[in-house]
Structures are given as C-alpha cells and as structure tokens.
Amino acid sequence: MVSMVADEKAQPQLLSKKAACNSHGQDSSYFLGWEEYEKNPYDPVSNPGGIIQMGLAENQLSFDLLESWLEANPDALGLRRGGASVFRELALFQDYHGMPAFKNALARFMSEQRGYRVAFDPSNIVLTAGATSANEALMFCLADHGDAFLIPTPYYPGFDRDLKWRTGAEIVPVHCTSANGFRLTRAALDDAFRRAQKRRLRVKGVLITNPSNPLGTTSPRADLEMLLDFVAAKGIHLVSDEIYSGTAFAAPGFVSVLEVLAARGASNAPDADLSERVHIVYSLSKDLGLPGFRVGAIYSSNAGVVSAATKMSSFGLVSSQTQHLLASLLGDREFTRKYIAENTRRIKERRDQLVEGLRGIGIECLESNAGLFCWVRMGSLMTSQSFEGEMELWKKVVFEVGLNISPGSSCHCREPGWFRVCFANMSAKTLDVALQRLADFAEANGSGKGGAAPARRPLAGGPARTMSCPVGRFSWANRLTPGSADRKAER
C-alpha cells in the first residue's frame, strides 16, 4: 500500500505574503463594477443592452483636437525631428531623469494651466508611469511601514491600493460631511490626527485631491490656507494630487496649493521650510485624456525627495518615444492654449447634460466646477437610508439598469446614498441612453420627481433585459461600509 503521508503534508507557500494578501482593494465595489462592465460592455449597435461604463473617469471629449494636431505634425508621431529620423536615438537607453525637451514642455504646460501664477522648475520634476506610480513613490519617500497619511473623505477608491498595498503606509480618513458641501475643516483634521495618535500611528502628512475626486470641486483658497497652517503646525508633509487641474470649467476656478504657498512665503518667515514639505502630483491622463500613455509627474522643491523619487522612477519609466511625441505637442503653445479652452468648454457642456437630466428625474448633484464626474445623491431611489440600502441600489443599477456607477461607500463616504457618476468617457447620445434607463428605473420604482419620473422621449438602446441580481456573488457588498471599515481599522 502506498503511503499518503507525504500528500497530507501542508503544501509550501508558493507566493510571497505580499502577492497572496488581500490588501490590494480589488474586492471594492469600485473595481468589481468595472469587472461586470467588461463582461457585458454597452455598444449602441452590437450590444445595446450592455452595461454603460459610468465608473471610469476618462476624458474622451477632445480626441478630435489631438488627432487633428497629429495629422498636422507627422514628424512627432513618425519619430522624426526636422524631417530626420531620431529612431536610433530614441531606441537606446535614456537617462531616467527624463528627456530635457519633454520636461521643459511639461513644466510650461503645468504653468499655463495655472494661468502662469505658478512657475515650475523642470529640475524639480520627476517623471513616473502615471499618477498611480507618482503617489506610491511619494509614499515610499515620505512614510515608513506603518506611518500614516490623512486623507479627506470621500476619496478616490484607488488610493487604498496606490498608497498602502506595497508601501505598508496607513490611511486615516478625515471625515467631511454634506452639511458644508464636504469641505475640509480644521476640526475634521484635528479629529483625524487624534484618532491616528490613538492608534499609535505616526502621521507623516495629508494628501488631498484638488480638484477633488470624487466631488468634482476645487479647493477654495481659504481651505488651502487652513491646510497649510495645519501641516506647518504639525511639521508634516502635504501632497496635493492635481491631476484634474485642467478640467476646472467654472468659478471659483482652480487654485494650486503652490500659488497659496508662494504668497505665504513672501510674508511669513516661519514658513521658510514649509516649501520643502509640499509636493504636487500631476498626470496627462485626465486633462489630455491620455491614460494609456502612462505619463505622470512628481513636483517637489525638496532635493532629497526629488533624488529618491528619481531613483525609484527607474521601475516605471515613461518611454522615450512617448516623451518625444509629447514634447512636440506640449511645446506648441498655440495648440495647448486653444485645447485647454475648448476642452473645459466641452467638459462643462457634458456635465450640464448629466446634471439637467438627473434633475429631470428628481435626482440632485453636489454643485461642481471641475472634474470628469458628478457627486450624485440617489437616496430617493433607496429602499432604506443605510449603507445596506446603498449597496442594494448599486447592485440594481449595475445588473438591472445596466449602468456602472461607484457607490459612496467605496469612496469612504460616511453618509449613505451618494454615488460618483462619470460623464466624459462617452458620447452625448450614450449619456442620453443612460439617463433614459435611470428615468425608467425611477418611474418603475415610484421614486422619480413627484413620485414618478417625467415622460421622456424614447431612446434607442435601453436595457434589453432584466437580470436578477446575484446576491451571493456580491455578499461582500454589505460589509463595505465606512463605519465598519473604520472600526475594524481603528481597533
């Protein structure tokens, strides 16, 4: 008889603990909504009953402007300079500090977006493979394993992955509320700092998104002043993720923290070293709509941060071919000026289409002035004003209505009923289809304006099916509430 003892022994761990752990955040409703969309993507011709992707903050509104520029500038795409091939030059190893022509053009473009109220020094720019890489590199530079960053809620769900997964850093939420439009307050910052201390976490800094993802609002100058006061008093860092800086389409407009910092520096001697603790993250993914190009940047006046982040950038370089192309595009000042103006006009137009359509259904949005999404209050469609009710509605919207939107709980919002709804990654006709589907759902559930949604003209491409929601598959959803997540983390 053959012994089975060897087979009964525990199998060796083939993966590392990091690879096997479940701290990536991939089981968030934010990511799982994407998975469902990818299984059944909407197409007006081939799959009119598919899921419409409204959970992806992608800017597809101005591709025609970029394509027209490429047609008029074939050398940039053809790897030529002055008609001569630069293929061999670009194919060889490049310094991971980045190509000077591209860094100079990027620095000028970032200044242009801020009305030249801020001047960027190319030597303080570190190129990275997108903003994801930039944020993670900054965490490696500023925080040790177990150190914490404070982040105002609601915040971009991907931060749980980008900032924590490989670095071992912790996130302590700064709880903001709808009572003041989710604006950051000193009281909320102080509360988060105390909670971090109670957990014996060393707070190394605050990270904000300005304009905010998911709120679609810019940070008022007064709030930035207050935030600088806070980090100055605590002796900690401030990271301002400004990847949506070129999307602000209405007053009060976008103000970079560097602009506020420069004004303070001229009159406030104690802030002399504060400039070395303020860092900017930027990317061309949102303003130019080029997430596939993987172009991000860290901007810092701290020589130590720039040096360390540059070394880390060797693990996620921007290709020399991409830098060559974008150096030419961003170097065309007439084009970038016209592009910024037209792009923001189109963003506002599409945002207004969404807001007006939702208002006709009886659904309101937080007043916004930037970004590629709206922060939408959908409590009127929920069977109960709870996070369980929010998850129930989210599953119905994904599986029955055929729209992938992001529930507020995935953004760590403490108030149930809020959803992030993206509008810039689709045509106006597709957005009409999405609004019609939601109107039909609201009417069927008696939750529209005045008890029922107003009559709307019939649109082609409505959902061709009603799918039963696989509750078992999404049993995790009932656990994804900010309250329970915070309690678990703060024990």
Residue with tokens 């108030």: 415
- Which one of the listed residues 51, 243, 361, 405 is annotated catalytic? 243
- Which one of the listed residues 204, 286, 395, 396 is annotated catalytic? 286
Residues 6+ apart with CB under 8 A from 374: 216, 351, 354, 355, 358, 365, 366, 368, 420, 421, 423
d(CA 285, CA 283): 5
- Which one of the listed residues 30, 37, 42, 156 is annotated catalytic? 156
d(CA 103, CA 331): 10
d(CA 217, CA 369): 5
Mark whether 486 is an active-site residue: no
Beta bridge partners of 81: 84
d(CA 273, CA 207): 18
Mark whether 286 is an active-site residue: yes
Give yes or no for a contact between 85 and 79, defined as CB atoms under 8 angstroms apart: yes
Mark whether 156 is an active-site residue: yes
- 391 residue type, one letter: M
450 — phi, psi (to 5°)? Answer: 70, 20
d(CA 357, CA 212): 23
225 — phi, psi (to 5°)? Answer: -60, -45
- Which one of the listed residues 241, 287, 432, 440 is annotated catalytic? 241
- Classify 412 in phi/psi space as left (phi over 0), alpha (psi -120 to 50) or beta: left
Instruction: Say how far residue 233 (Cα) sits from the centre of its chain.
Output: 28
Give yes or no for a contact between 118 and 224, defined as CB atoms under 8 angstroms apart: no
Residue with tokens 């929601």: 469
Sign of CA dihedral 147, 150, 155, 156: negative
How many Cβ atoms are within 10 Å of 150's Cβ, its own excluded? 28
Cis peptide before 407 (omega within 30 of 0): no
Mark whether 243 is an active-site residue: yes
d(CA 72, CA 310): 34
How many Cβ atoms are within 10 Å of 352's Cβ, its own excluded? 13
Stated as kind and residue range, the H or E segment containing 376 is strand 373-377
Active site amino acids: 156, 241, 243, 286
